[in-house]
Amino acid sequence: MTADRRHFLKALGAAGLSAATLATLEKAMATPANNRTGTIMDVEHVVILMQENRAFDHYFGSFPGVRGLGDPRPLRLRNGHTVWRQPSDQHPDGYVQPYWADSKTTNAYVVDGADQGHTAATIIVNGGRFDQWGVSRQLQHRMTYYKASDLPYYHALASTFTILDAYHCSTLTQTYPNRLHLWTGCNGGGRVGGDPVMSNYGEDETPSADMATDKPIKAYEWTTYAERLEAAGVSWKVYQEYDNFGDNILSVFKPFRPCDKDSNLYKRGRAWVSEHKDGPDRTRSDGKQLVEAFRADIAAGRLPQVSWIVTAAALSEHPRWTPADGENLTAKLIEALVDHPEVFSKTVFILNYDEAGGLFDHMLPPMPAADPTRGHSGVSVAGEFKDYDKNPHPGVRGLQPLGLGIRVPAIIVSPWSRGGYVCSQVFDHTSTLKFLEKRFGVMEPNISDWRRAVSGDLTSCFDFKTPNARPVALPSTDDYAERLAHAARQPDLKIPAVQTPAEQPRAQRPARPLPYRLAADLRPNGEDLLIDLANTGAHAAVFTIHDYAPYGLSPPWHYTLVAGERHTAAHWNHKDKEAYDLAVHGPNGFYRHFRGRPSKDGYIRVALREDPSAGKVVLNLRNDTTAEATLNLSVDPRYPVTAGAARQQALVLKAGEAREVALDLAASDLWYDISLGNAADADILWRYAGHVETGKPSRTDPGIGAMVLTL
């Protein structure tokens, strides 16, 4: 044992962890990753645990380094508040903002009640304005968030392995459509025909894992990924107990409903772990038999190449039940792997959540444009919309995007994802399928072209070439029952009488390299204002442009640019405009803000270019007016500057003059947030923020910290 490891274990012992937990940790720390090829092919097992109904900000908005409660550039609402202050008549302030669900002083773990259907979510999104979370008057539950003291195991897991802070559920709706994406790549429509499924159709008719309790339904007929694995000879299995909360989505597909009990489809897809037992144990669903079966297969060398784990209702973390029960189950499953280092060294364990459960998250999801008047897409968007003119529903009309949905928690546990990293690439549930495609070569053709372009394949979360050797530190969950009992004795949650900004520690974390290299620059063209968008990175990205000018009543526009694509956006121009106020949002904190007035007398032109090789950004300035102009350049105080560099400077440009201004970003880990103002007109502004990607690991945004309530 190294001195560092001995010191680390001593510190854990001082923290009160049990001897058994310390023994597990020592094994985990001593387990080298399978590094035979230095590629994804070193992965021999993928285990997928999808839990229920939690939003990212709700679970991890207070976690250091992620784009959470302290996001320095949150979406601005039209009233000048940011997205954190959701309009509501549930509070005298006229809005409700996120508040801490403290499990030590309130019954914080029970937060059920928020509507999560597609029409409700579509109303919340409000065309991209994202300002109707309060319409259902359920903000006493929706706006809650936890801290590490409430979710100690999960926060420690994120600190040890890799957390994904741009992982979205697949659809703006309930459990089944999202699980359909995880297991089949779509929720109907698109390539499989018919109308997209936006409800939990089949849930009531599938009350347990026991096929004998199935009630008649018209089962789905398109091909599941489990069937594709079976045909390809890739081993797979569903681990479930009798009570599976209806979450084994295979059970609503025709080949599994019913199927021959001697078939692999039954043995691997419908059987439950205690089916062979008699008496109460046959239907007992407390997680213990699930863990026992999982552990037994690991010990016997029977762990399949692909495993899906489906939990009982009370262990699913659905807001009717408690997170701590789910934490404890997750801990036991991971311990079963760590106790067998020869298996753990070859395994990827993915923890994700099917949907957000109506709970608040501040990040507007990437979405496709329904038609050319609403933006642009460089890839087909077929199969990505529900037509509510054909399927009338109160309060919703026309083509509405299926997703992406609200952000949900996701953590990847493996020897190749150690180190407490944050990965901020955009993912959804089909990303898990794409990871399986990459590893096992079994393709899922049901995934739409748009989703395949926009959502990554999870490989950016891993270091297969040189696996991180930092120690693994998992806490005990021995106190979970005590935490639950204590919280249950506390008063119910209610919105605080005095609202205060939520808290996120101001601390950076290691960040995985991302495939993005984006640009958005304002370009005057006569009296029109154009925005030149560019994607010179290796992966598609969605830009969303919001118009905040007094006349700007339109919802935002969505622009999907594939790798290497450029596009000029101009949807906001019309004859009676008197001012412009445009904000551009993209992945990983990419942000542009342009404000001013149209001019007949020429413009000052500004463009920003990233220079990854030099670790700089370069501002290209040109004064096309007939008069000298002074531009005030400032670097946001949350971002460190290189020693000796000025945080503020005045740039004087003569009429017709062009100039380049380079800013070194070494001190800020290649993050930037810079503004240019015109000394002669306070209403004119250019603001540029983001991260310069180099293909190497970096650190998270140093601007993350204090909650921004107004812009």
Which of 141, 107, 144 minimizes the C-alpha distance to 484? Answer: 107
- Helix (H) or strand (E) holding 164, with range, is strand 162-164
Beta partners for residue 630, in sequence order: 652
Specify whether 537 is located in the same domain as 469: no
Specify whether 172 is located in the same domain as 271: yes
- Residue 618 maps to a domain: yes
pLDDT at 3: 42
Task: Find out whether 675 and 687 touch, Cβ atoms under 8 Å.
Answer: yes
The total of structural domains in the chain comes to 2
- Helix (H) or strand (E) holding 228, with range, is helix 225-232
pLDDT at 484: 65
Q: Which domain holds residue 693?
A: 510-699
Specify whether 480 is located in the same domain as 626: no
pLDDT reading at 13 higher than 50 = no
DSSP class of 253: B
Specify whether 376 is located in the same domain as 255: yes
Specify whether 673 is located in the same domain as 533: yes
- Residue 711 maps to a domain: no
Specify whether 321 is located in the same domain as 275: yes
Specify whether 659 is located in the same domain as 597: yes
Listed in sequence order, the residues at least 6 apart from 157 whose beta carbon sits closer than 8 Å to its beta carbon are 330, 334, 351, 411, 413, 474
CA distance 209 to 244: 6
CA distance 318 to 6: 39
Specify whether 477 is located in the same domain as 516: no
- What mean pLDDT is reported for the chain? 92
- Residue 530 maps to a domain: yes
pLDDT reading at 690 higher than 70 = yes
- Residue 384 maps to a domain: yes
Task: Find out whether 691 and 670 touch, Cβ atoms under 8 Å.
Answer: yes
Specify whether 524 is located in the same domain as 645: yes
Specify whether 474 is located in the same domain as 517: no
CA distance 152 to 474: 10
**Exposure on the CB side of residue 289, measured as CA atoms within 13 A:** 19
Average pLDDT over residues 55-66: 98
Residue matched to tokens 């000052």:
604
Establish whether the linkage from the previous residue to 404 is cis, with ω within 30° of 0: yes
Say which CATH number the domain at 482 has.
3.40.720.10
- Residue 494 maps to a domain: no
CA distance 563 to 654: 38
- Residue 94 maps to a domain: no
What's the pTM value of the predicted model, to 2 decimals? 0.94
Specify whether 373 is located in the same domain as 405: yes
Establish whether the linkage from the previous residue to 258 is cis, with ω within 30° of 0: yes
What's the pLDDT tens digit per position in 300-335?
Answer: 999 999 999 999 999 999 999 999 999 999 999 999
- Residue 574 maps to a domain: yes
Average pLDDT over residues 541-570: 93
Specify whether 417 is located in the same domain as 534: no
What's the pLDDT tens digit per position in 161-207?
Answer: 999 999 999 999 999 999 999 999 999 998 998 899 999 999 999 99
**Most confident by average pLDDT, 23-37, 448-462, 519-533, 600-614:** 448-462
